[in-house]
Amino acid sequence: MTRLFGTDGVRGVAGRDLTAAFALELSVAAARVLPGEHGDHRRPKAVVGRDTRASGEFLEAAVAAGLASAGVDVVRLGVLPTPAVAYLTAELDADFGVMLSASHNPAPDNGIKFFGRGGQKLPDAVEDRIEAALKEPSEGAVGASVGRVADAVDDGADRYIRHVVGTIPHRLDGLRVVVDCAKGAAAAVAPEALRRAGAEVVAIHDDPDGLNINEGCGSTHLDALRDAVREHGADVGIAHDGDADRCLAVAADGSVVDGDQIMGILALELHEAGRLSKETLVVTVMSNLGLKLAMREAGITVVETPVGDRYVLETIREGGYSLGGEQSGHVVLTDHATTGDGLLTALHLLCAMSRRGLALNELAKVMTRLPQVLINVRGVDKTRAKSSAALAEAVSAAETELGDTGRVLIRPSGTEPMVRVMVEAAAEPHAREVAERLAGVVREDLVIG
């Protein structure tokens, strides 16, 4: 049976998959599960934030109604980044937080994500309990037991800005920065935070209208940021996604600096400062082999997880580590945040540039990205990928051929009848040749029917 919760909450097309009725019912179920995690007998409190999608308005109303009907006091935070909602869940001593966002997805999509006490992402087991509670009958609160709904008394955006700016060791005076707000939640905080930190800021795509989030901009569309960096003679460009939990960058020479390179830079910064917990960096299996080789040379251990920032977070928490993330730009700095935070990442990346007095493209040389070829093989039986003897034999031969200078990853899609074949090698033609060879084996051995 398909699980309701994905790797990052419940997502779908707003108004079709995520209706007001469903959002209300899911909120009632969450209210029955989450406060009970903490054994607190006072009336529970939840904070609710959203990104700039128009659908967030009706979903916010539905979530607030559901929570209040279940006896939860609701504090509406308005438009804020996902990491700001996580931070304010802890800062305002809420029992849990709710974020309405579909991250980098287009405007018609939306999502509902829950944070537990302290702004922590929920374990699978707790999400499963919420899903189970959806199917159980429930009685609403009555009289004085009903929850109250109010807007935040203090400016949540200002609190969050003061927090992230307060984490950097020195100001960013002298840096000219272009920030792409993705027509999303970053527009509410990123330009102001960078200015308070001392940078000269040019903001682009900071004009959300509810329908244009991520449209041709942000961390998934970097061309406009690259052009703006050149046009304004900036030192660096920073790109966020719709809910600002990602950060990618463009150097002054136009080169893209991805999440792997950012993690490499920050890992060395923390390592040199003696603040890289257990001298370990946590990444997913999709991180480039070049990052792992660079970290090994620097004496830093790399721990791998499945794809998804939730798995990175779980591993970080369980191992007591301080840094991890994904190639896509989700970076977790646990000294300052409980989840991936694009603005926090940007500030610390800029601090590294400022401290070292180096251009970003020079800093990015901390690692050499190996050519990476990804082929999606569709229309195959992905469930047989792990049991195919022919595929296992082909992968083993490819790994022997590549040795220590390459890598093979065969990964069934989580949502489609498709297998992803990823190969890294010292040279792109070699990587492509091996990837195509393996993709051919997948087609021949796993074809449906």
For helices 156-165 and 342-356, the axis angle rounded to 10 degrees is 30
d(CA 124, CA 252): 42
| Burial of residue 384, with CB atoms counted within 10 A of its CB: 0-12 exposed, 13-18 middle, 19 or more buried | middle
Q: How far is residue 28 from each of residues 5, 131, 193, 246, 371, measured CA to CA in Å? A: 16, 11, 35, 30, 48
Q: Which two tokens stand for residue 152?
A: 């935040």
d(CA 206, CA 367): 32
Q: Which two tokens stand for residue 325?
A: 């993330």
d(CA 103, CA 334): 21
219 catalytic? Reply is no
d(CA 399, CA 227): 40
Residue 377 φ then ψ, to 5°: -100, 110
What would you report as the CA-atom Rg of the chain, rounded to the nearest whole angstrom?
22
- Other C-beta atoms within 10 Å of 392: how many? 14
Closest by alpha carbon to 241, among 263, 264, 260, 215? 215
d(CA 53, CA 100): 9
Q: Residues comprising the binding site for Mg(2+)? A: 103, 241, 243, 245
SS3 of 207, please? Answer: coil
Structure-derived torsion over alpha carbons of residues 421, 425, 430, 434, reported in degrees to the nearest 10:
-30
Residue 175 φ then ψ, to 5°: -95, 130
Q: Which two tokens stand for residue 300?
A: 């830093």
The H or E element spanning position 130 is helix 124-134
d(CA 148, CA 33): 19
Closest by alpha carbon to 103, among 6, 38, 31? 6
Q: Which candidate in 103, 328, 354, 388 is catalytic?
A: 103
d(CA 307, CA 330): 11
Q: Give the length of the chain.
A: 449
DSSP per-residue codes, 208-222:
--SS-TTTT-GGG--
Q: Which two tokens stand for residue 434?
A: 């091996």
Q: Residues comprising the binding site? A: 103, 241, 243, 245
Do 312 and 259 touch, CB atoms closer than 8 A? no
Catalytic residues: 103
